Structure 1
């Protein structure tokens, strides 16, 4: 099935990574160099741009901080980000939960984003919109709808969430994500920006021309994560209730090795995000879509299937595509990625979604 899916997609640097009850299988596209084949550890394989599939990482970070009592879902984002700053009442009413569930009433991107982005739309649209500008745009925003009343997908909102969590904890978002999610899960092949060019997948336009690495500007929490296929399976496996014990054992073993090698105190070693955080991000919260047939969790799209619910999130950058999904009832996780620009008739998302929902 994986081989047939790879033939259907036929894209550069294609990898389909499957985990079923702890057993992993990797299907590579015909053009993936053998030296980059993700067959061993988390550092193997190319790192791919996740784009919007970065949002589940931010959602898990939020859930972990809530489980630790450091923030609350119902905290006012403006109150944490800029205490005492005068804002519109609707902005004051936006909570952390509204931001991550796309119910804040904010648009997909700030209104003033497009004029400066258009000249660089096909190469670096986010690069000249830094973090402080994202924050200012939020504080002067006028939400289209009262928070909590409508679902509208928003990169702007999730980016604001990242800056809010940083302000609330006094820790930069990149450091916070490393401390609370990436480090504890042992995601050694995951980065929050371009790294060694030899280790990063290169995106391509539809005509095959290469594209520069994505610069997310101030929108890091909405799309800056880059990861290898094994790391993505580890991240997804941690969401599977049946895999929790195995993940804990693997993390404990990795921590033991690190402590042994560096002679540091085991008390300083990172711990896995709390079980309550994973339960929160799996739990359905709201209904959406045609006739409200689909639900949405804190951070995942959730569709029904003959063998139980499927949680997933897709992402696309200027020249790469990503799909992350898992089935809690069957202990199955799937990560698929390629280095080709998305287009209207592209079979990538439809193929891998059908693979996870109807075949596996």
Structure 2
């Protein structure tokens, strides 16, 4: 059975099960009820739905498992592919500050020994998933298979990712077709490191985490703080902490729900963080439209969908044992960060529930 509660800082006493309680922080009991229903629907050992509306936060926690020793909203959760929103913002900041243009050929930055083709893969191609790369390198699966249920990405380090990219020959001219690619964004992280002379983790920490005051966000497991324990599809089998290997830029971020809300609130009010104001505005701008009627819109960091009141920006992610959804709507001043400790399964309600909460907010 899932229990849910509105968390009042600093949260419920350690070791106690969450119990339903009234929302008194923002005066909107309806939101507390809706978030509590979402926590129950997630059906995961640990779940947090954290919402910010015009800067006022409502955080509801719960889960099917025994309450951890630390309040659930104070744990760090693996956000998987939602890390790409951080890497996209990082590129936007480097462009906004004049350090890069986005048009740099990635292979040249990574030390390719031969000249690129007529249309080289650029940083912009990598961040928009139009580089002509597959979801994962061709040699990924044989190497990852022995650790498929534990840490497949950890068996594919930085050097292999870079080498696979430099050897790859795209079937289609870069910039002509969209294909979602963890491989591409991982390469982008290595290219940014090469262009700046700073490893992606240090670059992200210096240019994003510190200016945004994301003190409870980390780029590797066990780096201070307390990480949530992920579980398999059954919600009971624990899995090891996620090791992103050479794919850090595509999936390494782990953060508390409060830090994730802080990250999203900065997107709603870019002026609150002067070093990143230009980049935070830039990542709202559509850079790619695809599909029938060009209904699928992308920025360099987010998927962008229309609502009656204005655009909704979002990104989801998953690791072997956790899931996350991040989204925000400038028209309503609303941000939502949802996390849970269970691997997604067929017809999983988690992402759909989180998306619907944000989309239906009017």
- Structures share fold, TM-score greater than 0.5: yes
Aligned 1:66-145 pairs, distance under 5 A: 66-82=95-111, 85-86=113-114, 89=117, 93-145=120-172
1:182 paired residue among 209, 229, 234? 209
Task: Report the Cα offset of residue 310 of structure 1.
Answer: 0.4
| Structure 1 match to 2:81 | 52
Q: Distance in 2 between matches of 1:12 and 1:87?
A: 52
Q: Tell me the equivalent position of 1:344.
A: 346
Q: Please state if 1:37 is matched with 2:71.
A: yes
Residue 150 of structure 1: how far off its partner (Å): 0.8
Q: How many matched pairs?
A: 327
The equivalent residue for 1:284 is 286
- Structure 1 unaligned spans of 5+: 39-43, 249-271
Evaluate the alpha carbon distance shift between residue 49 and residue 289 of structure 1 in structure 2; reply closer, same or farther with a 3 A threshold: farther
Relative CO higher for 1 or 2, CA cutoff 8 Å, sep ≥ 6?
A: 1
Report if the CA contact (8 A) 2:87-2:249 is conserved: yes
**1:328 is matched with which residue: 302, 327, 330?**
330
Kept after mapping to 1: 8 A contact 2:76/2:225: no
Q: CA deviation at 1:36?
A: 3.1
Q: Is the Cα contact below 8 Å between 2:231 and 2:321 reproduced in 1?
A: yes
Structure 2 residue ranges without an equivalent (≥5): 1-33
Cα distance in structure 2, aligned partners of 1:123 and 1:332? 36
Counterparts of 1:1-360 in structure 2, within 5 Å, are 1-30=34-63, 31=65, 33=67, 36-37=70-71, 45-82=74-111, 85-86=113-114, 89=117, 93-195=120-222, 199-207=226-234, 208-240=236-268, 243-245=269-271, 247-248=272-273, 272-359=274-361
Whole-Å Cα distance in 2 between the matches of residues 311 and 289 of structure 1?
A: 18
**2:275 and 2:283 mapped to 1: Cα distance?**
12
The question of whether the paired residues in 1 share the 8 Å contact of 2:140 and 2:156 is answered with yes
**CA drift at 1:274:** 2.9
Distance in 2 (CA, whole Å) between partners of 1:67 and 1:32 is 46
Between the aligned partners of 1:24 and 1:278, the Cα distance in structure 2 is: 21
**1:73/1:319 CA distance change after superposition, 3 Å:** same
- Structure 1 residues 47-69: Cα deviation after superposition (integer angstroms, max 9, x where no partner): 00010000010011111111111
Q: Distance in 1 between matches of 2:92 and 2:225?
A: 34
Displacement of 1:158 after TM fit? 0.4
Q: Secondary structure at the match of 1:218?
A: helix
Give the structure with the higher percent helix: 1
